[in-house]
Every structure is written in C-alpha cells, then in structure tokens.
Structure 1
C-alpha cells in the first residue's frame, strides 16, 4: 500500500474541514477551486455567458469566475454571485472573495459532476492572507467552501443589450447588472399597446430570444429569477426605435 504524500494528507484534512464547516453552517458547501490567466489578472476574456467586454471593467473586473456545469446550469447560472473561502489558516485569510459567474469550465477539474470554481488570478489571490497570494496560487487546486450571496451593483440598474442580428421577427436580449439573485429563470416581453406577455426562450448564457412578429416596440420586459422566483417588470424599457447592438437601461433593480 502506498503512503500518501504530505500534500495529499493536507488536502484530505482540508477537504474534511470543508465538509465539517458545511455541515455546521448549512449556508456553506464544499467545493474545489483553481485559477486562470495571469497571476494578478482579472481573468477577463468574455466568457460563455456572453457579457463580452463588460468583464473587462468594474463592477465585473477581477471578480469574474467560471464554474462547473453543476453551477452553470446550461447558462441559467450566469450572473449569480458567490462567496468563496479557502480554509487553510496557515496561508489563507478568513475573508471570502465575492465572484460573479461569467463563464463555464466544462472539462478537467470541472468534469465528472464536481462543484468547482475556476477564478481569475486576482480573485483567487484575494483569499490568501496578506503577502501569501503567490504561495496560494502555487498550490493549484485547493478545497474551498462557498455560498450564494446577493449580487450588488451600486449605481447600476438592470440593462438589456439587444444582440446583433435582432430584427422585428427575431429579438435577442442579453441581461446585464441584475442584482439580488443575479440569475434569470424566465423572461417575457410585452409589445406596445398590448396586455399580453410573450415568453422568451433561453438560448445560451444570459441571452434570451423570441421568434414572432412583426414585433412592435416599445417593449416592456419582465424577469423572473431562477433561485427564488422573484419578478420585476421594466415598462417600455426598449424604445420604439430600438437598434441592434444598443443597450437600454431600466430604472429598476432587484435590490433597490
């Protein structure tokens, strides 16, 4: 029988501690984490959620993360926010880092039904105690605990980006800066002078579309979150003379 290395023993002990912590506090659950990109980088490279260049700037910048399919949920997990904390007190801070899901990691550490976070180098390093960011990143994969946390975008309201290629017969919207739950479970639009809400279809990432028409703006948009089923309606948020690749900001958000 082979004898486990000191690293393997430490890993097993930390994993056990993660499970114990999760049992002691039902809001926390065990997972594993790695990092990508440059060591101090913000990890920004677009991502499977479709946020594009938004991940390059605040409030996303350096807070982005990819998750395994268990949490990505085929894209419906896009925009959800999590607190992630490392448990090795010899190198880690007791402070959790808050990350926004912007991407999926489907293979490697993220495969096989595992719950895994692949964080930006900056976000991963923030879990370390002062001066230990480099040492923590050198560990590679580490056990962590995580929990959902409300998304907060100070000064931002929910916005809708009209995707390129949209027409009066095929309208595609990307949801941005959704506070609170952060995730979208269903989405409807209502045309001008109509009382009927038309259901949109989730196609990928944080993008929804509807095939109908000719559709007539202005459009009101209703969001229902995946996690708690809360709803919000933004009246006439997309104007009559809307244009593809334009972004229209509402006056509302879930945590306002």
Structure 2
C-alpha cells in the first residue's frame, strides 16, 4: 500500500529531525566527570622511568609527560589494556600507622598491568589476582600517601579526568607493510577504545586494531599520504585530528593532534 505524499514528507521530516538531534547530542556529549569512590588496596614497585610503561606500550613515562605518578592495574581493572591511560585519585585509608597524615590525594595514570600470581593466595601475596581491584604504584608516587615499610595499604579510589598539556600524540613506527601507532597524552577519560586513520589520497577511513596497550596497528599503506586520525574515548566522545601528519612523514616521528578536555 502506497503512503500519501504528505505522510511520506512528514516521516522524512521526523527522521531528519531525529538524526540532527542525535548528531547534536553526540557533539555536545558532556566532558568526563569524576566517578564514585571505591575501595581497593595498593602496593608499590621500584625502577626508573623506562620500567614503568610495561604492558601499555609507553616507552618512557617521564619523557611522555606521565612523570612518576603511574600505576600498574590488576587484571580486573586493566581490562585487557583498555584502561591504559586512565587517571585515578587514590587515598590511603584505615591504616593510621602507615598512611601519611591528612590523607593526601595521589593522582596517577594507568601505564602498566599487575599480573596475577596464582601460586599465592589473594590475601597473602596474590594481590593482583582476580577479582581483586589493586594498584601497584611506582614508589615515588606511593611515598606521597603511605610509608615504605607498609608494603600494602587499603585505599579509596575514583576515576578522574586526565588533564594533559597539549594535544594527543601519535608516534608512528614499523615499515611500509606494517604500521604501529602509539597513542598517548590523551585527556578526558584517558582511555582509547578505537583509532581510525584516513589519508588525503587513496587511503579511506581505516580502523586500526589494538596491538597491545595503547599501540594500534594496520597493514594499510600509509606512506606518502597526509594522515588524519580519529580517536574515540571510552565515554563515547571522539576527537578528529585533521591532516596532523604531513605527506613527507617518516617512521619514528611523533605528531600532535586535538585532545579531549
């Protein structure tokens, strides 16, 4: 049965309005806000800035702007690498003997994975075993909230927005047949759930695959094209960095795009 022309016009008008409303909502999605407080435990690990990147693929957390305020997350929090780059506020609690006076807040970025140790019980050495929520914090940061001798302390934590200087960074490594893009210095949620790339000539929008942590791969040919990156965060917002990579780019270079607030 054919619809009257007027009815078709009304349906099209409603569809157009709904689509426009959806796109407007997507553009106006509110900035990421702090989450609720939760309970966990924290330990610490030692090393230099190059040892704190680990499973997230950050080569040098100090040089890349994360400083020593970094933490390795238990598997429950790590979420197979999606939590890399997420930011947390942490307070030492319920341990007056070991917590620093005044319960100061510590702000850390997730840059590593704390693997489980199933040879030890969850409450005696297997601190990062599922389903525990646990932070293994770089010692220079841990020392701001608790004493060295404590070893392990109960904490309260919450997700907070990541405040970054400058834009999202894209470091491209690999070869003409395999491209690995490291995405870092991400604001907002700090978590990246998808990365797309587009060239200015032959390369159409292409979705990269998560290789590990915040390293993303594609076997599409990127050489010789000016590149645009589109990053989608875990809160649904996206940031498009148009033509941030010039045609004459080289492997090993880093480029700065548009960041989340």
Q: CA–CA distance in 2 between the matches of 1:123 and 1:27?
A: 22
Aligned-pair distance for 1:58?
A: 6.8
Find the partner of 1:189 among 197, 201, 205. Answer: 197
What residue is the counterpart of 1:150 in the other structure? Answer: 161
Q: CA–CA distance in 2 between the matches of 1:27 and 1:122?
A: 26
Label 1:86 to 1:218 Cα distance change in 2 as closer, same or farther (>3 A).
Answer: same
CA RMSD of aligned residues (A): 2.2
When the two structures are superposed, what TM-score results if normalisation uses the length of structure 2?
0.76
What residue is the counterpart of 1:96 in the other structure? Answer: 105
Q: CA–CA distance in 2 between the matches of 1:95 and 1:42?
A: 23
What residue is the counterpart of 1:60 in the other structure? Answer: 66
Q: CA–CA distance in 2 between the matches of 1:85 and 1:238?
A: 41
Q: CA–CA distance in 1 between the matches of 2:35 and 2:188?
A: 20
Find the partner of 2:128 among 101, 104, 110. Answer: 110
Structure 1 residue 244 and structure 2 residue 259: aligned? no
1:7-56: per-residue Cα shift (whole Å, max 9, x none)?
xxxxxxxxxxxxxxxxxx97011111000116xx7684431111112x13
Aligned-pair distance for 1:59?
A: 3.1
Matches within 5 A, 1:207-226: 207-213=215-221, 216-226=224-234
Find the partner of 1:82 among 81, 85, 88. Answer: 88
- Does the 8 Å CA contact 1:33/1:144 hold for their aligned counterparts? yes
Aligned-pair distance for 1:125?
A: 1.3
Please say which of residues 55-64 and 65-74 is displaced more in the overlay. Answer: 55-64
Q: CA–CA distance in 2 between the matches of 1:240 and 1:26?
A: 41
Q: CA–CA distance in 2 between the matches of 1:214 and 1:232?
A: 20
- Unpaired runs of 5+ residues, structure 2, are 1-33, 117-125
What residue is the counterpart of 1:178 in the other structure? Answer: 186
- Does the 8 Å CA contact 2:95/2:154 hold for their aligned counterparts? no
* Runs ≥4 residues deviating over 4 A: 41-44
Q: CA–CA distance in 2 between the matches of 1:52 and 1:195?
A: 28
Label 1:57 to 1:191 Cα distance change in 2 as closer, same or farther (>3 A).
Answer: closer
What residue is the counterpart of 1:131 in the other structure? Answer: none
Count of residue pairs brought into register by the alignment: 216
Find the partner of 2:170 among 160, 184, 193. Answer: 160
Larger Cα Rg: Structure 1 or Structure 2? 2
- Unpaired runs of 5+ residues, structure 1, are 1-24, 129-135
When the two structures are superposed, what TM-score results if normalisation uses the length of structure 1?
0.77
SS in 2 for 1:94: coil
